Structure 1
Amino acid sequence: MTSSVKVAAVHAAPVFLDRAATAAKAISIIREAARGGAQLIAFPETYIPAFPVWAALWAPIENHDLFVLMAEQSVAIAGAEIAALRREARSLGVTISMGISESSPTSVGLIWNSNVLIGPDGAILNHHRKLVPTFYEKLIWAAGDGAGLRVVDTPAGRVGNLICGENTNPLARYALMAQAEQIHISSWPPMWPTRRPSAGGNFNNVAANRIRASAHSFEAKAFGIITAGFMDAAMREFLIAREPSVIDVIDRTQRAASFFVDPTGEAFGDVLQDQEGIAYAECDLQRCVEPKQFHDVVGYYNRFDVFDLKVNRKRLVPATFIDAVSTDIAPVLAEQGATAEAISFHNGGNLDS
C-alpha cells in the first residue's frame, strides 16, 4: 500500500427511482473516475435508486404510491445491481462505496438506508445499514444494526463509512476511530428541507456537513470524503409536477456539496455543489500519523479505566428458525465416526434406502 492515494467523491443525480438505469449510470461514472486515477470512489446516500426527499414535502398519507415504488426499486444485496458493481470493481481494480436503498428478503415492505463497500477484487468488504433513520426518513427506512460498524483494509487505506446523520453520533464515530480509520466516507442527500422558506428557511446544510466532517476527521486524524447527491432537472420536475406548491421549498433549499477534509479538519481538493461531476483529492496517509502524537482519542488521550464502550456487531434478523431436521449435523456425525447410513438418516433419508 502506497502512502499517497487518489480518491473520488461522486456528486451526481440518480436516474430517479430507476435502480437498473441508476446502476448503469453509476458504472459509467466509476469508469470515468478510474480513468481519472481514483483508487477509491464514493457515491452519495442511497444513490440507487434515489433519496426520498418527498417525505419532507408531503404528509405520509399522500405518499403511499412513492413508498411502494421506492420499495420496488430498492436493491437486493444478492441482486443484479450489486453483482454488476462487483464485476466492475474487479475489472477496474478499484474500491467502490455505494449508497443504496436496500430491500429485504424477509419482508416486501422492509427497506434500509445502506452502504456497500466493494473491494478491488469484487468482494463485499462491508455492508452497513444506517443505525437510525433521521427525521422524516423514519417514514421510509427501518433502523439498521451494528454489523456494519467496521473499518476495513483496502489498497487505498483503512476505510470506514457513516451515513448522513450518523456522522453526528459520537459513539458510532468513536467505534470507527477505534479501528485505526484512515479515510472516513460520509454520504449525504442532495438537499435537506426542514421548514418552509416563509418560516425562516433551513439551516445551512453545507456548513453543518462541513462541521460534522471536520470534527470527525480532526478527532480521528483521518481524511474525510464528503459525497452528496445532486438534484437534476428530471428529479425536480418529477416533484413539482406532482404538486406545484412545493417549488418554493425545492428552489430555496440549499443544495448539498461534495468535498474533502484532511486529518486536521481543513478542506482541500475539489468542491462540487451546483453541478454534477466527480470531485478528486490526493490523500497522503502518512499525514494521519503525526497528529496522533498531539491528540489521540483512542490512544493516550483517553481514560479506558473510566469509559468502557461495547459495540454489538451482530446482524439482526426478524426470526431464527430451528428445524427439526438439520443438515448441519452431518459434519458433526462424520467427525464422531458415524456411518454413512446414520448420517443419511439424520439428514432426512431412510436407513432402508
Structure 2
Amino acid sequence: MTTEHVTVAAAHVAPVFLDPAATIEKAIGFIAQAAEEGASLIAFPESFVPGFPIWAAVHAPIRTHDAFAAFAAASIYADGPEIRRLQDAAQRHKIFVSIGFSERDPASVGGLWNSNLLIGDDGNVLVHHRKLVPTFYEKLAWNPGDAHGLRVAQTRIGRIGALICGENTNPLARFALIAQAEQIHVASYPPVWPTRPPEQAGNYDNRSANRIRAAAHAFEAKCFVMVVGSLLDQAACEWIANGDKDALSVLEATPASESFFVDPTGAVFGESTMAQGLIFAGLDLGRCIEPKRFHDVAAGYNRFDLFDFHVRRDRLRAAHFADVEEEGAEIATRLEGRQAG
C-alpha cells in the first residue's frame, strides 16, 4: 500500500572531492539526519561520489590525463564496499536513498559511467541507472550508458524515478518514466556547469535551466520533482584549477546550482537552497491525480494507435562470451546423463 503523504529531503552538499570513503561517510551522516527529521527519501547530487569532473571543462584534453587518472581511481564499483555501506545505512535508518556516483566499468580499467542508484529502505538496490549520453565535455570522463535503468520503482512511499542532469531535457527518456506512472522524480545536477569564459555573455545558467526543465517534467508527468544540486568547495576549486588562474576564475564566476521542489502543476514550492545542507518537502501524492484529467500523456491524452514507442532495456556489454554458456550447457548435459544412467 502506498503512503499518500511523504516527506522527502534534498541533500545540497559538496563531496569530499576525490575521496570516496570520506564522501560516503558524509553521505551516511546526512542519511541519518534526514531520517531523524522524518524523511522517507533522501536524494544526493549527480556524481556525488567522488565529485564532478569539471576539470574537463576548464582545461584542454591533452592537459587532463592526470586529472582523469585520479578521477578514475576515485570512482567506485556499483557492487563495491562503498555502495554496501550506503545500503546498510538505508536499511538501518529505514529510508530510501538516491545517489549519483562515478561508476567503474568491470570490463575496462579506464571505463567509467555517470550513474545513479535508488536504494530501498530495506537496503536493496531498486534501480541502477547509467546516464544515456554524457553531455558536452563530460564525454572526456564518462562513456554512454544504456536504458536498463529507465525504470520507476514501485515502493511503499510511491513510484520513484530518476534522471541525471541533461537527461531531464530528453523527451524520450522522460516519457519512458512518465509511462511507468512516476509520482516522485529525482533530477540530479552538478555544482556548476561552465560553457563560456566569464568575460563572455551567454554562460550556461544552471539554476535557470533546471527550473525550466523541472517545471516541464512536473507539468507533463503530473508528478513531484526533487531537483538536487551540489556545491563546489574551495578545496575542489583549487584542485580542479591546478594553479591556472583563468580556470579558477571560470569556476568562481559560473552560475551555481540550486536545490528545490516542484509540484504537479509545475510550480516551485517549499524550501530551496544554494547553501550546504538538507531541505525538506511534504508531498501529497493525491495531488498527482486531478491534473491527469486534463493532460494524461500516458493514457487518455495520447494516441498510441499513431505513436509507437519502444525502449531497449537490456544491459549493453563489451562482449558476450559464448564459450562460458556452452561449457555450462555441456556440464548440465553430462550431469543429466549420469543421473539418467
TM-score (ref. length: structure 1): 0.93
Q: Which residue of 2 aligns with 1:305?
A: 305
Structure 1 position 229, deviation (Å)? 1.1
Provide the aligned length of Structure 1 versus Structure 2: 339
Is 1:248 matched up with 2:261? no
Is 1:78 matched up with 2:71? no
Q: Which residue of 1 aligns with 2:337?
A: 338
* Structure 2: runs of 5+ lacking an equivalent: none
Q: Which structure 2 residues correspond to residues 288-299 of structure 1 after superposition, within 5 A?
A: 288-299=288-299
Aligned-partner Cα distance in 2 for 1:98–1:326: 38
User: What is the DSSP-based 3-state SS (H/G/I as helix, E as strand, rest coil) of the residue aligned with 2:266?
Assistant: coil
Q: Which residue of 2 aligns with 1:348?
A: none
Q: Which residue of 2 aligns with 1:184?
A: 185
Is 1:323 matched up with 2:326? no
Q: Which structure 2 residues correspond to residues 147-296 of structure 1 after superposition, within 5 A?
A: 147-273=148-274, 275-296=275-296
User: What is the DSSP-based 3-state SS (H/G/I as helix, E as strand, rest coil) of the residue aligned with 1:145?
Assistant: coil
Task: Confirm or deny: 8 A CA contact 1:103 1:111 kept in the other structure.
Answer: yes
Q: Which residue of 2 aligns with 1:346?
A: none
Identity across the alignment (%): 52
Structure 1 position 93, deviation (Å)? 0.8
Task: Confirm or deny: 8 A CA contact 1:201 1:253 kept in the other structure.
Answer: no
**Against the structure 1 CA distance between its residues 318 and 65, is the aligned structure 2 distance closer, same or farther, given a 3 Å change threshold?**
same
**Against the structure 1 CA distance between its residues 120 and 333, is the aligned structure 2 distance closer, same or farther, given a 3 Å change threshold?**
farther
RMSD: 1.5
Q: What amino acid maps onto 2:321 in structure 1? A: F
Aligned-partner Cα distance in 2 for 1:76–1:203: 31
Q: What amino acid maps onto 1:339 in structure 2? A: R
Render the CA deviation track for 1:129-169: whole Å, top value 9, x for unaligned. Answer: 00000000011100000100000112221000000000000
Render the CA deviation track for 1:270-310: whole Å, top value 9, x for unaligned. Answer: 1011x200111000011011100111011111111110000
Task: Confirm or deny: 8 A CA contact 1:95 1:154 kept in the other structure.
Answer: no
Is 1:90 matched up with 2:91? yes
* Structure 1: runs of 5+ lacking an equivalent: 343-353
Is 1:17 matched up with 2:18? yes
**Against the structure 1 CA distance between its residues 219 and 333, is the aligned structure 2 distance closer, same or farther, given a 3 Å change threshold?**
farther
User: What is the DSSP-based 3-state SS (H/G/I as helix, E as strand, rest coil) of the residue aligned with 1:196?
Assistant: coil
Task: Confirm or deny: 8 A CA contact 1:111 1:140 kept in the other structure.
Answer: yes
User: What is the DSSP-based 3-state SS (H/G/I as helix, E as strand, rest coil) of the residue aligned with 2:311?
Assistant: coil
Structure 1 position 250, deviation (Å)? 1.6
Q: Which residue of 2 aligns with 1:350?
A: none
Q: What amino acid maps onto 1:39 in structure 2? A: S
